[in-house]
Amino acid sequence: MGTITWTFVVGAITLVMTYIGIKLYRYLKWLRYVTKILSKLPGPKPHWLFGNIFQIGNFSDFQYKCHEEFIVQKREKIYVFWLSMFFPTVMLAHPDTIKEVMRSNSPKPTVGPGYPFLVPWLGQSLLVSNGPKWERNRRLLTPAFHFSILVGYFKIYNEVTDVLLDKLATICEKRKYIDIFKPASMATLDTLLQCALGYKGDVQQVGENHPYVIAVNRLGFHIQERCLYIHHYPEFIYRYLTANGREFFQLCDYVHKFSKDIISTRRKELVANGREFFQLCDYVHKFSKDIISTRRKELNESKETEKKKHLDFLDILITAKDDNGIGLTDDEIRAEVDTFLFAGHDTTSCLLSWSMYCLGKFKDIQVKVYQEIKELSLFQEFKPERFEGDKHHEMDPYSFTPFSAGPRNCIGMNFAQNEEKVMIARIIKRFEISLDPDHVVQPFMEVVLRAKTGIMVNFKERDL
């Protein structure tokens, strides 16, 4: 090997080692600074190298133990635990601390556990992206949640709820208790698929064995479990050298295909409709008199205006253009669809399930809600007395943030609230809700808050 070649090799190695050395120095400097700051915060005592990793067991039990100790007993507003010495996790539990994060425009983390583990599944969607990309996509998606679009979904809310009510009545006819998470999950998925994507697949008839629901549950499980194993953080190792990683990416492939198939079908429909529209325009221009042609144009414009009122989420994603006339790519559309499917069905199904639990446990509140529904005035939250009169004006706006807050609040808030109002109101109006007294409900934290062994509920027909 010649002198020039050796010089090149040595130079390249030196550059790489220098780059690594600089990165490592900066990281260790950052870690020293962060450790110094966070060491002042309350939290379980960490090991100098492994942090609290061996104390965790599973996240749900660990988090509830920490919550009980630091939030309930010691009345702290914040605490910290460590996933090894490299990854601190700060938990916020008070408006004073929560608002500092939610009001901020700081980018979401791109390394370590948490959001980066969602990227293979949800891509660079609104949930994960930062900066100009997030701002652009947020602007493009906002019209999909305009009041004029959302109001057209109430018919679907009610049709989906019709099926749900009949299922609950049939199953609970003989005083049988049912795990409400399962039918709730199918109902909210059915709603989302019809409202957002125009997809009708008899989802509720398939039941809780629908492969999409199973896939979402498993994906959430794997994301949380991966956080516990530092050697699973590198994607190559996790993807190719672990059984969980292989299953995770297989499930990602399935949910991507599920959404891509729907997108492809809709794109073809829009193209076909466009061709038909312009063919009709050519016919009108060719064979009609001026006055008839003008009138037909007016009618077509009227029809198109009416049609736009009923564009759904997917239509808007496909047709949206930014200020430069550039639309979303297929991968960007797929990422937003995957995010909306997950965030719009799994979260709302949990909300519906826990609402049934609370109403079944606190019968006095259930009676109040029932009376309010009969008077056509609906409560949004479980403790409505907190929001009576001027009380809600006295509350810190960051004390109750089910849809987050600040510049990155949930874009689908009104969609979810409308859906839940319809479902909860109609369930309460038709049924009296009771909990199984022999079943212990244990909250279990995954990506969303579930119950470890379900919530067993009975729905008894009211005497109307």
pLDDT digits (tens, 9 = 90+) for 321-346: 888 888 888 888 889 888 888 888 88
pLDDT of residue 388: 55
Phi, psi for residue 311 in degrees, rounded to 5? -60, 135
DSSP annotation of 107: P
Q: Please give the pLDDT value at position 277.
A: 44
Residues in contact with 138: Cβ distance below 8 Å, sequence separation at least 6, in sequence order: 126, 411
* CA distance to 201, 226, 249, 263, 301, per residue, from 257 (Å): 16, 24, 12, 10, 36
* pLDDT at site 75: 93
Closest CA to 198 of 313, 59, 280: 313
Residue % of the chain over a pLDDT of 90:
28
- 352: confidence class by pLDDT, cuts 50, 70, 90: very high
Torsion of the alpha carbons at 410, 416, 417 and 421, rounded to the nearest 10: -170
- Tell me the domains of the chain and their CATH numbers: 30-93 (no CATH), 137-461 (1.10.630.10)
DSSP label of 206: H
What pLDDT, on the 0 to 100 scale, is given for residue 295?
42
Average pLDDT over residues 312-324: 85
Tokens 């049709």 found at:
159
8-state DSSP, 83: E
Residue 394: pLDDT band by 50, 70, 90 thresholds? Answer: low
For the chain, the average pLDDT equals 82
pTM above 0.85, yes or no: no
Overall size of the chain counted in residues? 464
What local confidence, expressed as pLDDT, does residue 280 receive? 44
Beta 449-451 vs 443-445: how paired, if at all?
antiparallel
Residues 6+ away with beta carbon under 8 Å from 227: 59, 83, 113, 114, 117
Instruction: Report the alpha-carbon distance of residue 152 to residue 156 in Å, rounded.
Output: 8
Confidence of residue 275 (pLDDT cuts 50, 70, 90): low
Angle (CA) 121 244 67, round 5°: 80
pLDDT bin (cut points 50, 70, 90) of residue 244 is: very high
Residue 307 has a pLDDT of 47
Q: Using 50, 70 and 90 to split pLDDT, how confident is the model at 308?
A: very low
Average pLDDT over residues 386-406: 69
- For 110-141, the pLDDT digits (tens) are 777 788 899 999 999 988 888 888 889 899 88
Lowest mean pLDDT among 55-69, 173-187, 298-312: 298-312
Nearest CA to 310 among 149, 419, 456?
A: 149
More confident residue, 228 or 394: 228
* pLDDT at residue 285 in the model: 39
Q: What confidence score (pLDDT) does residue 81 get? A: 93
The reported pLDDT for the residue numbered 288 is 38
pLDDT value of position 296:
45
Mean pLDDT of 132-157: 88
Per residue in 253-273, pLDDT (tens digit) is: 999 998 888 888 887 877 665
How much is the average pLDDT of 38-58? Answer: 89
Does the pLDDT value for residue 372 go beyond 50?
yes
The whole-number pLDDT of residue 1 equals: 54
Look at 114 and 277; give whichever has higher pLDDT: 114
State the pLDDT confidence band at 393, using cuts at 50, 70 and 90.
Answer: low
pLDDT (0 to 100) of residue 160: 94
The reported pLDDT for the residue numbered 376 is 62
In whole angstroms, what is the distance from residue 141 CA to residue 316 CA? Answer: 7
> Which of 266, 303, 308, 301 lies closest to 148, judged by CA?
308
Nearest-angstrom CA–CA distance, 55 and 62: 8
What is the reported pLDDT for 291?
41
User: Which value, to the nearest 10 degrees, does the dihedral of the CA atoms of residues 237, 238, 241, 247 take?
Assistant: -160
Beta bridge mates, 179 = 456
